[in-house]
Chains A and B, each alone.
Chain A
């Protein structure tokens, strides 16, 4: 394998995933390889990273992500993550990773009970991760769309303390100037949390959609810096191998 070969992403596909093709498109725009992996598959094949995409897997029956987490492919994702593989969950994918216990906490109904479909600003709280290293560091927040009804992040107090102490909070909702305020919090998430990582920083999840923000025609290209961070991290790993 040569370092010039494109990074290979697996995009999971559950019944009622609806951002799977967006993820494939976004990654191809960025020059990566992307293939869909059906949720009944027990293997991911030869891939460098996994994306659990947005949507409404199983119609959000019972709780968002509660059924998808038991799909056969999720065992392969767990093993992949245990071995240090990079996994990113977007929106419903974030919910699935929390339900699966790959990330701490849970996502509950937005505090105003409304579905929010809008652009939000994100402050990056930790730049030293495979998901954030390429994000601009000049204090200007990135702008990414959200589209969810159940994106209010909750974790109990000890878990939040751990997340803060270990810098596992990656993104927080903020205003256009980068201030983390209650007014800029679209869903009531504790500490304005929009996205977090696990303790090893190889699994992350966020409610906003970087996959819908890679082309200027859609209003913002800021999602590129998240996906490109993953690509850079994978390239560094490959170069070191």
Chain B
């Protein structure tokens, strides 16, 4: 089976972006016809006296930040291992609780303690995801099974770190990280997404890492014979995911000002995998586009916000979301694509024939 995977699998031109872009365009047009006021952007003054941009679009881009960051990491893990990490939500909670634990360990919160917190948080999270990575690369366990371990006990570990009390962390620095920096009206998490995206784009555009990751994902044996170390590449993908998860966990924590073990990044693993799939990346590994996954993340958030704006009960959103997801994945399914291209070819062939016949006469 592995021999049949070739580099050409997972149609990777701009065609990959076609379905998600159409989906996004339909959502945007739908909202435009439903209520043009949906796109209104205003400026208001928040509790701490800063000017902030408000509006549905800003809220979509802002609240999809954690999802977008994790989806980027998930894309790389998916590409390298051909499987998905389902423990990201639980590990993100661990990240958040480590961050809070460190900040609470110091008397006051200043820029240095926050930086130290971020650093330690990244290291610990990377250790946890490396555990997953070790199971996947060294023990050759399916990623979904390997990460099921931390999925089922990650939140318990977070509880063990932070204890039953969920302390509030109140500081201008924390609210600047979770909401807006004074003087800049754009929510800070958006800058987090841009930063992570920039680093990843630079990493994969200007190094050979992209080629190595795709090779390992397409055919591990062939990659090894060509001198690529699959174990190292897979571990590296989990390390990158770990940093993404740590950043998302910190953003989520700062946004709420506390770690709530039950609600922080809950169900985000499912949404992140969905974002990867909606973006048109193959879940079986191989070639990937990070931008497509980010687009997928914004589509999911746009969908949720649209449904909320239509006054759908928040608990019922899942059902409508499911229907939309099914429509998007059916439209992007290989069989439908094949049928459409056959139809297209036949139409063109028919037209050519007619032209030939006309020419003959």
The answer on A and B forming one complex is: no
Q: Could you tell me which B residues sit within 8 Å of A by CB distance? A: none
